[in-house]
Every structure is written in structure tokens, then in C-alpha cells.
């Protein structure tokens, strides 16, 4: 285990150090756009954007939401907001109008960046529908009854839209803020300030804003990269969403901490991954298991060269042993690692190392990260379990979130009086400190790396005419790890069909939350005390749906 050093730095300081060390090294590359910036060029874009945001009136502590895929300027915005003490609020691109409105309202968000759209969803039109005032109120001075905190809407690109500032317009405003004022703002910041907020759903059905600090995600990113052996000569192919910690911490901050190059994909595409690795001679590749599987099984797989690959991370859901073997043998990723954690933990608490045995890298999630304590405890008593005994995985350290935004009770439920963060996951720790995740206490589905909470979908479906009761569970899927299944009891006089339910969901909730499998039942399996036994619905899913692929 390497010696731990508590590096108390803001994200702006981390970037400035890397720019000074490796000014001519590639920082950000998009192969499909022929887009390339050195660290010196990237640092200037960040500073121009940061000073432009200051000129617009963005204050320290304000939230800046970004609703966009991995487009250029996303990463620049991550550091620009950090440099002026604003809080980057990342928004899932699968969100629909109601989900976005809840997030902006609950977070009391002052600023919003958007892109044009994603898949079949027009983000610009959705914003105009949600905020009609945008068309006729002065830019930067919004006054919206249902979103009283919101002041500015901006476009994360060069295009102009009514009521919004574009990136070139914002950057041109930098002239209104002196370098002295900009430096004064940076000097006023603490490494323990909140710099990032990500919304994670809860068992109550209401998403919670996880408040993460500069030290939390900056230092976590440092060790994630260190454990992969990152240096300024590494080139990381990053096809995972930046709005998740996987993208903006495990990816961006691991690379920037070590001067590595980010080869970013705007959206997941097996062909673009293969082409990026080949053309840019990438040494590392990230993805959830389904992404690696899609690459390996693509008909063009053998047309590209993977000999430059060395390491990377597979995370987000359980990694099957045969898949890990193929990644190591067929993609040359001999030093691939596994990470485990949760958003509230900045996010990684354990990681396997390149020199761990194949068995360790496939059958465990590794050992605790430097500077973080990890225990397995008895969920009932809170006492630490003996090695080899199943219990709840908890962690404590610099990585633990400051809390959930404006939700003190939920924060207290997640972080106990001794500052242990409770994961809600069941696991076993062996004599050498390796952790194996064995199940979940909390009622959560993980579909292809996306966390989905059944209660959120259940509450949504209760609003559908004809639904008397609904229970949502995750059922096994070879492709995605788990799929969403809904078991519905019809109201008397109704005869709903599965497609009726999917039609009700489409366009109203994120597509990955829409139940793929729907069964109509007369009753649910119950305990003697009347509690629904969801595990039995999972166990008997093949009887309803057959074998799930």
C-alpha cells in the first residue's frame, strides 16, 4: 500500500499545476471532431470561461447545472466553475422535463447550461416549454415563479438561442473582470468547499443532491489514477457519461491529476471507441461491462489495433469473469482494474491493483483506497464483523460527502454519528482486506451502470389510470446485469396491457427507468405480517418472462 498524502487543493489549483508541468501535452481530444487542445490551450479556455461567468454575476456558492452529453466545453465548465467557487450540478441526459424541474427547484439552482438535445429529446424546446419567460425576459435576469432561484440559462456551444448566452458570448465578457479580481476569487476558496453536486435517487422516490468537495473528488481522482499507474504519457479513452462520477472523477480528475490525455467520446459508440483507441494509441479505456461486451462482440472488432492499451477501469455493475478474461486477452488490458463505491463517497472506496491476481480482480472489488477506512459491519448492531462474515460495507475519510442538499434527515440516515458512510451494500472482507460485494440492503436496481430506485418508478406508475398496485424489482439480465420489471395489479374494471404502461412512461421519465418487463398479477407474495416479499418476485421472474438476455 502506498503512503497516503492528504493533498488539500482546489480543482483549480490541480489544473494549474498540471498546465505548468505539461503545457504542450494533449489535454482533450475528440477523434470524430478533429478537436485537440494542449493543457496550455485548455487552461486558457477554462480561465476565459471562468472570468466570463464572473462577469455575468455568478457568485461563489451558486449552482451551475449542466444538462449535456460529453460535448467539448463540458470539461472546461467543470474547472471554470470550480475556479470561481461555483458548484457544478450535473444533470442526467436521460432526464425529462419533470425530473429536470424537480432538480432545479430542490437545488435552488441559479444557472443552467444546456445543449441542443439527445436522442429524440429536444432540450432547447423542453426548456422553452418549462420556462416560457426565457423568450421575453432580459438575459441573465430571469424571474420565474416556479423556479425562483434561476437567473440564467446558457448554451454549451456556439449557437445562439433566444434568452440564452452562448459560450463565445460568455468568454468575450472576460474583459469585464480583471485578472486581480479573478485571482482574488480563487484565493478566497477552501479545498473543503462544495464543488460538485450530483443527484442520486432514494428509496423514498425523491432524488437527493450529493454535495462533494474539492478535496473529496480531487484526491479520489488522484489515487484512482495512481492505482492505474497513470503518468503524463497515458491516454485515456473515455466513453462514459461525464454527468456521473465515473466520467468526471474516475475519468477527468484521474487524468488531470497526472497530466494524462483525455480522449473523449460524446456518446457511447463501439466503433468510435475502437477508432479512438487505435488512432490515438490510448493506453487506458473505461466502461461498464456492457460497453466492453459491445466492443468485443462488434463485427469490426478485428479491424482495429488494441496493442497500445494497458489499463483502465471496469465498474458500474458486476464484472463477469469470462468478460474480464476477454478484455485482458483480446484487448491487451493486462492491468485493468475494478472500482467500487457510491456517489456519496466521491465515489471510490476500494479498487483492485494491476498486480492483483486474476482471481482478485474478478472475484473482489479490491482493497480500501489510501486515506479511506473501510469496514464491514453488522447492520443491526453496527459492530464490525469478523473477517469472512457478511455485513454492510461502510467507509470513512476525506471522501465522504458533506451531505444531501437541504435534506438533513436523509444525511443523518446515510452518515452515522461516527462519520461512517453507509453504502447499503452487503459484502464480505477477507483476511487480506479484499472486499466482495454479495448483495444489497437498499432496494436498488443497477442496469448497465445506472442506479434505479424502484420506489421512484412505483410512485410514478401509481398515477396511471387503472393501476391498483405496482411493485418494481430488478431481474437478472446477461446484457445489462439487471433489467427493470414491474408487477401490476389492475384496478377493477381495467384490463391494461404492457404496451399501455410503456406508452404512459415514454417521454415522462428517463428511458432507462421504463420497465422492460411487465406482468399483471392478482396478488403479491406476502409475509405473515403482510409485508410484500419482493425477492420472491425476482426469484420467480423466469416464470413470468422466460430467460432474460
Report residue 188 as a C-alpha cell: 478566497
Q: What's 11-267's CATH class?
A: alpha beta
Lowest mean pLDDT of 118-122, 217-221, 257-261, 521-525, name the range.
Answer: 521-525
pLDDT value of residue 205? 54
**Under 8 Å between Cβ of 87 and 183:** no
Question: Under CATH, which architecture does the 337-440 domain have?
Answer: Roll (2.30)
| Per-residue model confidence as pLDDT tens digits over 346-381 | 999 999 999 999 999 988 999 999 999 999 999 889
pLDDT value of residue 380? 84
Residue 28 above 50 pLDDT? yes
Q: Rounded to an integer, what distance in angstroms lies between the CA atom of residue 408 and that of residue 498?
A: 39
Residue 530's pLDDT band (cuts 50, 70, 90): low
Lowest mean pLDDT of 327-341, 395-409, 453-467, name the range.
Answer: 453-467
pLDDT value of residue 529? 43
pLDDT value of residue 532? 77
**Under 8 Å between Cβ of 481 and 447:** yes
For 436, phi and psi rounded to 5 degrees? Answer: -115, 125
CATH superfamily ID and name for 445-545: ANL, C-terminal domain (3.30.300.30)
Mean of the per-residue pLDDT values of the chain: 94
Higher pLDDT, 22 or 293: 22
Higher pLDDT, 328 or 527: 328
Residue 435 above 70 pLDDT? yes
Q: Rounded to an integer, what distance in angstroms lies between the CA atom of residue 486 and that of residue 537?
A: 10
Residue 531's pLDDT band (cuts 50, 70, 90): low
pLDDT value of residue 203? 39
Percent residues over pLDDT 90 in the chain: 83
Q: Three-state DSSP class for 441? A: coil
pLDDT value of residue 202? 47
pLDDT value of residue 547? 76
Mean pLDDT throughout 171-179?
Answer: 98
**Under 8 Å between Cβ of 289 and 320:** yes
End-to-end CA distance of the chain: 40
pLDDT value of residue 411? 96
Mean pLDDT throughout 68-82?
Answer: 98
Higher pLDDT, 319 or 66: 66
pLDDT value of residue 2? 66
pLDDT value of residue 1? 52
238 sits in which H/E element: strand 235-238
Residue 311 above 50 pLDDT? yes
Give me the residue spans of the domains in the chain. Answer: 11-267, 337-440, 445-545
Report residue 209 as a C-alpha cell: 443532491
Residue 494's pLDDT band (cuts 50, 70, 90): very high
Q: Rounded to an integer, what distance in angstroms lies between the CA atom of residue 229 and that of residue 332?
A: 16
Q: Rounded to an integer, what distance in angstroms lies between the CA atom of residue 450 and that of residue 20?
A: 37
Residue 549 above 70 pLDDT? no
Residue 147 above 80 pLDDT? yes
Q: Three-state DSSP class for 113? A: strand
**Under 8 Å between Cβ of 123 and 136:** no
Report residue 260 as a C-alpha cell: 494524462
**Using omega within 30 degrees of 0 as the cis cutoff, is the peptide bond preceding 347 cis?**
yes
**Under 8 Å between Cβ of 53 and 22:** no
| Per-residue model confidence as pLDDT tens digits over 191-240 | 999 999 999 864 345 789 999 999 999 999 999 999 999 999 999 999 99
Residue 169 gets the label, from left (phi > 0), alpha (psi -120 to 50) or beta, of alpha
Lowest mean pLDDT of 15-29, 164-178, 385-399, 531-545, name the range.
Answer: 531-545
**Nearest one of 101, 87, 173, 171 to 131, comparing CA atoms:** 101
Q: Rounded to an integer, what distance in angstroms lies between the CA atom of residue 348 and that of residue 354?
A: 16
pLDDT value of residue 426? 87
Residue 60 above 70 pLDDT? yes
**Under 8 Å between Cβ of 229 and 311:** yes
Residue 436 above 50 pLDDT? yes
Lowest mean pLDDT of 142-151, 266-275, 468-477, name the range.
Answer: 468-477
Amino acid at each position: 500500500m502506498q503512503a497516503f498524502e492528504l493533498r488539500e487543493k482546489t480543482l483549480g489549483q490541480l489544473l494549474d499545476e498540471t498546465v505548468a508541468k505539461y503545457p504542450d501535452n494533449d489535454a482533450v481530444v475528440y477523434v470524430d471532431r478533429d478537436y485537440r487542445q494542449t493543457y496550455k490551450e485548455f487552461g486558457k479556455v477554462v480561465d476565459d470561461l471562468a472570468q466570463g461567468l464572473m462577469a455575468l454575476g455568478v457568485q461563489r456558492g451558486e449552482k451551475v447545472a449542466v444538462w449535456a452529453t460529453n460535448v467539448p466545453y463540458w470539461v472546461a465548465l467543470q474547472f471554470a466553475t470550480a475556479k470561481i467557487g461555483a458548484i457544478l450540478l450535473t444533470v442526467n441526459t436521460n432526464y425529462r422535463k419533470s425530473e429536470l424541474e424537480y432538480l432545479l427547484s430542490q437545488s435552488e439552482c441559479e444557472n443552467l447550461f444546456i445543449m441542443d438535445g439527445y436522442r429524440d429529446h429536444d432540450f432547447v424546446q423542453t426548456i422553452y416549454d418549462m420556462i416560457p419567460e426565457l423568450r421575453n425576459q432580459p438575459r441573465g435576469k430571469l424571474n420565474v415563479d416556479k423556479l425562483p432561484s434561476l437567473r440564467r440559462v446558457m448554451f454549451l456551444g456556439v449557437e445562439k438561442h433566444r434568452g440564452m448566452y452562448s459560450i463565445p458570448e460568455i468568454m468575450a465578457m472576460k474583459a469585464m473582470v480583471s485578472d486581480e479580481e479573478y485571482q482574488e476569487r480563487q484565493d478566497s476558496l477552501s479545498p473543503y468547499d462544495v464543488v460538485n453536486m450530483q443527484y442520486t435517487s432514494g428509496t423514498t422516490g425523491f432524488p437527493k443532491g450529493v454535495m462533494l468537495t474539492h478535496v473529496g473528488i480531487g484526491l479520489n481522482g488522484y489515487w484512482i489514477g495512481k492505482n492505474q499507474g497513470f503518468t503524463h504519457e497515458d491516454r485515456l479513452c473515455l466513453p462514459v457519461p461525464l454527468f456521473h462520477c465515473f466520467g468526471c472523477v474516475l475519468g477527468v480528475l484521474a487524468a488531470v491529476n497526472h497530466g494524462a490525455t483525455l480522449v473523449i467520446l460524446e456518446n457511447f459508440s463501439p466503433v468510435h471507441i475502437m477508432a479512438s483507441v487505435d488512432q490515438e494509441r490510448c493506453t487506458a479505456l473505461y466502461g461498464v461491462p456492457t460497453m466492453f461486451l459491445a466492443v468485443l462482440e462488434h463485427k469490426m472488432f478485428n479491424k482495429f489495433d488494441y496493442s497500445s492499451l494497458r489499463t483502465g477501469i471496469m465498474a458500474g455493475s458486476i464484472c463477469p469473469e469470462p468478460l474480464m478474461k476477454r478484455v485482458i486477452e483480446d484487448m491487451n488490458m493486462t492491468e485493468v482494474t475494478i472500482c467500487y463505491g457510491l456517489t456519496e463517497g466521491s465515489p471510490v472506496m476500494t479498487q483492485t491493483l494491476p498486480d492483483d491476481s486474476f482471481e482478485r480482480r474478478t472475484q473482489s472489488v479490491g482493497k480500501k483506497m489510501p486515506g479511506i477506512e473501510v469496514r464491514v459491519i453488522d447492520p443491526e448492531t453496527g459492530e464490525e464483523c469478523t473477517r469472512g462474515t457478511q455485513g454492510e460495507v461502510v467507509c470513512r475519510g476525506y471522501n465522504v460527502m458533506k451531505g444531501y442538499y437541504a435534506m438533513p434527515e436523509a444525511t443523518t440516515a446515510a452518515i452515522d454519528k461516527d462519520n461512517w458512510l453507509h453504502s447499503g451494500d452487503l459484502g464480505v472482507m477477507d483476511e487480506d482486506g479484499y472486499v466482495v460485494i454479495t448483495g444489497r440492503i437498499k432496494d436498488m436496481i443497477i442496469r448497465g451502470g445506472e442506479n434505479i430506485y424502484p420506489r421512484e418508478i412505483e410512485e410514478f406508475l401509481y398515477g396511471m389510470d387503472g393501476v391498483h398496485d405496482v411493485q418494481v424489482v430488478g431481474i437478472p439480465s446477461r446484457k445489462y446485469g439487471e433489467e427493470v420489471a414491474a408487477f401490476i395489479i389492475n384496478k377493477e374494471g381495467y384490463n391494461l396491457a404492457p404496451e399501455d404502461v410503456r406508452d404512459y412512461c415514454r417521454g415522462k421519465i428517463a428511458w432507462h427507468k421504463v420497465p422492460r418487463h411487465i406482468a399483471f398479477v392478482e396478488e403479491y407474495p406476502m409475509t405473515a405480517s403482510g409485508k410484500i416479499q419482493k425477492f420472491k418476485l425476482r426469484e420467480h421472474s423466469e416464470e413470468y418472462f422466460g430467460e432474460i438476455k
